[in-house]
Amino acid sequence: MENKKTICLVDVDSSIPNLVLMKISAFYKEKSFEVDLKKIGYTGYDHCKRKEIIIDGSNYEKVFISAIFPLNKDLIKVRNCKEVYHGGIGYDYKITLQKEIEHIFPDYSLYPDNEYSIGYLTRGCIRNCEFCFIPKKEGILKFNAFLKEFYDPKQPKIMLLDNNFLALPNQKCVELLEELKGTGKIINFKQGLDFRLLTKEKAKALIELRYDGNYIFAFDCIRDKPIIERNLKEIWKPLTKAWQTKFFVLVGFNSTLEQDLERVYFLKSHKCLPYIMRYETCYSSSNRPFYTDLAAWCNQPGFFKNMSFTEFLKIRHSTKERLMQTIKIIEENNLRNVIS
């Protein structure tokens, strides 16, 4: 009996089931290949724990390696295999799938513990934010796929990876939200939604979904505060409960520490949760202790809702030396009035 050909898929650092690898798996299984998945489990931040991994490729026809974080891209070495392919934004955001693979139904069996149907209804974005590669990778917002291309009724939840779903025209956006509602499944928009584009119709359709956890939006720039405040008061807060809404808050890119705190305390005053997204320069910044403590406070809702930042600092640090690192940054940047 002839042995089946086998490919190897390497998931270096995905925090969720890797959609690209599930599509590659489906494509090759249709061609009677067997598929092995190696899930490495690295993140973009555990610098001390990462080490080089050698994969023996002698039993594989092809090896596909997917990495999200650039600092992980050189850690996987393949020997004894002639066809090794690298993909994911960790390698090059310009790499795309062939059309016949892009629109194939994902192989959800690759991740047996997965609970989600995963996919993109839209691709691209109408924005051109300096810190974001999406406009360069996907271009302007466009329709990508019908729900049926990735919806598996056997999965209890649906995860949308769209980068700016609310940028769709009002009627089209509402129609797709109603289609999602009609599945009866629990819904989640993984990337966060553009709160600046919220309308009363879109908000109503969102609220009617069986939503997975907090509704998540983005508050990347302090200049967006007026429109976010308006939409909170006029559209969103009348429909939701306290602490039901979360905002990604980008820090360390082009904002001051005072502007970072202003956004955080603004959200706290409206009983919304911030989730601190540290730009990569935060990890080499002289203000790193402050960013670390701010993220620890904001990203743990129990602490954020029930104590001030200064109260949190006192219980967080077991040594005065570490506490004073952040206190010194607060004093040097005249932030005491902001956090009081």
pLDDT in tens, 113-154: 999 999 999 999 999 888 888 888 888 999 999 999 999 999
Taking the alpha carbons at both ends of the chain, their separation in whole angstroms is 75
CA distance 120 to 115: 17
Percent of the chain with pLDDT over 90: 83
> Which residues share a beta bridge with 66?
11, 87
Domain residue extents for the chain: 6-87, 100-339
pLDDT of the residue at 46: 55
Question: Which CATH fold would you assign to the domain 100-339?
Answer: Transcription Regulator spoIIAA (3.30.750)
Ranges of the chain with pLDDT below 50? 1
What is the DSSP track for 222-272? Answer: GGGHHHHHHHIIIIIGGGS-TT-EEEEEEESSS--HHHHHHHHHHHHHTT-
pLDDT of the residue at 1: 44
* Nearest alpha-carbon partner for 335 in 256, 230, 233, 234: 256
pTM, two decimals, is 0.91
CA distance 318 to 304: 19
pLDDT of the residue at 136: 83
CA 312 to chain centre: 26
pLDDT of the residue at 130: 85
Question: Other CB atoms closer than 10 Å to residue 76's CB: what's the count?
Answer: 21
CA distance 130 to 46: 26
pLDDT of the residue at 2: 58
- Whether the CB-CB separation of 56 and 33 falls below 8 Å is answered with no
